[in-house]
Structure 1
Amino acid sequence: MIKREFLQDHKSLDFKFYQNVDDFIVEEVPIKFAGRGNFIIAKIKKQKLGTWDLIESLAKGLRIYDNELGYAGLKDKNATTTQYISIPKKYSKDLKQFRHNKIKILETTLHGSKLNIGDLIGNKFEINLHEVQAQDVGKIEKLLKQISKVGMPNYFGFQRFGYDGLENLEKARKYIYEDYQIKDRKISKMLVAAYQSDFFNKWLVERLKQSDDSFKAMDGDVFRDYREDKFFTPKNFTEIMQKDFEDKKIVPTGLLPGQKAFRSIKDARKIEEMFDDTYIKEKGYRRDAIVYPSDISVSFDKNTNKCKVKFTLPKASYATVLIENIANRNLKA
């Protein structure tokens, strides 16, 4: 597994980070719901349950198929998380009777369609860092402000690759290139996604080598327009485009190799093609190279040496990567 590198080259900060229900709190920032329609949107708080565990528990409790339920994103198991789940309106009576010791339905509204992956704006995080030195609190605050300005490299975090990351990547390689059988379609999709993500992370490390204090956009990059949410590749990278990038109107993207994904051109392609794989038959994607944390706050309890950091990240980005960026060290492989 490649070591995740960052734009800030400071001495590593020595603190402890734990993922548990007290120290890792996540709340989904939802899209705007219609307030009417054939689907109940339930705001649900859960502990020690992953999203798939939540879906399984809800389906069992409501006596329905799990594919009738919709969700916008996957949330960690070892955390206290709040997320939105869509349920067909016809099960409203059953939902009112639903009880589970790790699941609490906070509120409900209505919407016109089932929730799908990506139907969210982002996530709010509240994370406790332990054994923080008092002199490092100011450094943490300064780093977070700097990262919010220049952006955080949008790596896939260690969770993407599973507990046995290297072993999972090898299984994915055998599944793609050899006659390695995986009966569970969900597992095979997860392994291939991890394999694609590893290419992206390696590409991002290489691109950071071409950058200094901020990410360097290149001629031939595929950009995403934030407002239109569309990809485009300009014939030439101009000063106006550089200004748009600095003003956070557009962002360079990296490739998750696969079918039907845009490829970069020119100088950007020379780097990208080293981390491409046209043999992968699954759908490919592009992912923002950097993301910008917002709503940042830092507080410190000198009696416990515990530092609480709060921030919001766009969807599909990892809070653990931001913690790594602050610490300037990888938490796990």
Structure 2
Amino acid sequence: MTDHLDLNTLLATPYLTSDLPGIGGKIRSTMEDFLVDEVPLYLPCGEGEHLYLKVKKSGLNTQDVVKELAQIFNIHPKDFGVAGQKDKYAITQQWISLPFRGTGLETPEEATNIKAEGFEVLEAHLHANKLKMGHLKANRFEITIRTDTPEAPERIESLLDAIRAKGIPNYYGQQRFGNRNNTFIMGWNALVKSEIAPPLRKNSKLKRFALNSVQSAIFNRVLAERVLGDELHKAVPGDILEKKEGGLLRVDEENLAEASGYVQNGEMSPTGPMVGSRMLEPNDEVRRRESAAQADFEVEDSHLEAYRSLLRGERRVLRIVPEDLELLEANAEFIRIGFLLPSGAYATVLLRELMKADTY
């Protein structure tokens, strides 16, 4: 059990804009308050064996829609492909792929006649390959925050300016750890204590997700320490920086000043650990910090080795700068903003910085 771990401290995610007051408020008061439009890595080319459907949904998560389509076409859900999972409590648009053969359709366009409770098909085209997780460039958000804070309209401008200049910590959102951290707790017990909870025995995807939540907790711990130390916008000896256009740079004493310049101007960002057997290890001070964060959760390398097929490890950027961040409307009752985030980033993390309140 994790009772001896101080999860309130270990899972804390301090604000980057702690010097600025928030606007308070609530999100998802209605479905229309949370709009998400997937920006694909590529568009279907019009030829091939796979049918790509652009789906608009509300009140359903991605897997709910896949199950409905599987019944409509009598095709097994495992043959469907998605680039990312979208929330239930939002109006979202995303692409879903399935084998065209066996659908019973004469042309892809016939699929646009599909309208079911909670979703509809907007577009349908053929493509050569199945859509896979990660085949996603970004997500575009339009979000309304309902607030009764009179100062909200004037506060929001300063907050947005700060985020445009500084970016946001690339924390994993609370949804990664589950209600009352239950997902994390199941993952930690499996990883550290070799105690597999009944739900994990029956569901391999849930088991992987629970283990991943422990990786995410260690990452967030490293990132939180960096935020508290005011080091998110500078390079540290031992850092592994990720270039905006791809590629990595190791930081040492000789290139420290130059590397810090790259971080400050946004050309590169420091990375943190998603621990695992294949993760690229940093050096010097950064390696010491990451090892300490892992030890805080009592995770040993031998634990990771036991799950090497599920926890391969990678580097993840510690900071992201939202694109197209704009204030769409502001008054005494609500604030509406629009922005673009890369795949894997959490909109709720940005909203926390604005609201200074829980968003889960």
The aligned counterpart of 2:171 is 155
Residue-pair matches, total: 328
Conserved 8 A contact 2:241-2:270: yes
CA separation of 1:184 and 1:132: change in aligned 2, threshold 3 A: same
The aligned counterpart of 1:62 is 73
Cα offset, 1:58, TM superposition: 1.6
The aligned counterpart of 1:222 is 240
The aligned counterpart of 2:185 is 170
Cα offset, 1:180, TM superposition: 2.1
Give the AA of the match of 1:251.
Answer: S
CA deviation map 1:118-143 (0-9, x unaligned): 11111111111112435322321221
The aligned counterpart of 2:35 is 25
2:179 match: secondary structure: coil
CA deviation map 1:5-59 (0-9, x unaligned): 1222235424322224121111111112251332222111101111122222222
CA separation of 1:49 and 1:110: change in aligned 2, threshold 3 A: same
Measure the CA separation in 1 of the matches of 2:206 and 2:218: 19
The one of 131, 140, 156 aligned to 1:140 = 156
Measure the CA separation in 1 of the matches of 2:229 and 2:241: 17
CA separation of 1:186 and 1:243: change in aligned 2, threshold 3 A: same
TM-score normalised according to structure 2 size: 0.84
1:16 match: secondary structure: coil
The 5 A counterparts of 1:1-333 are: 1=7, 2-19=11-28, 20-35=30-45, 36-91=47-102, 93-94=104-105, 96=111, 98-165=114-181, 167-176=182-191, 177-181=193-197, 182-211=201-230, 215-228=233-246, 230-236=247-253, 237-276=255-294, 277=299, 278=301, 279-280=303-304, 281=307, 282-300=311-329, 302=331, 305-332=333-360
TM-score normalised according to structure 1 size: 0.91
1:7 match: secondary structure: coil
Measure the CA separation in 2 of the matches of 1:25 and 1:34: 23
1:17 match: secondary structure: coil
In the alignment, structure 2 segments of 5+ residues that lack a partner are 1-6
Conserved 8 A contact 2:82-2:96: yes
RMSD (Å), alpha carbons: 2.1
CA deviation map 1:214-265 (0-9, x unaligned): 533211112222323x344345443332222233222111112222111211
Moved more, 49-58 or 231-240: 231-240
Q: Percentage identity across aligned positions?
A: 27
In the alignment, structure 1 segments of 5+ residues that lack a partner are none
Measure the CA separation in 1 of the matches of 2:19 and 2:270: 25
Measure the CA separation in 1 of the matches of 2:149 and 2:252: 50
Measure the CA separation in 1 of the matches of 2:33 and 2:187: 33
Measure the CA separation in 1 of the matches of 2:40 and 2:161: 25
CA separation of 1:263 and 1:231: change in aligned 2, threshold 3 A: same
Conserved 8 A contact 1:11-1:328: no
CA separation of 1:180 and 1:92: change in aligned 2, threshold 3 A: closer
Measure the CA separation in 1 of the matches of 2:81 and 2:87: 17
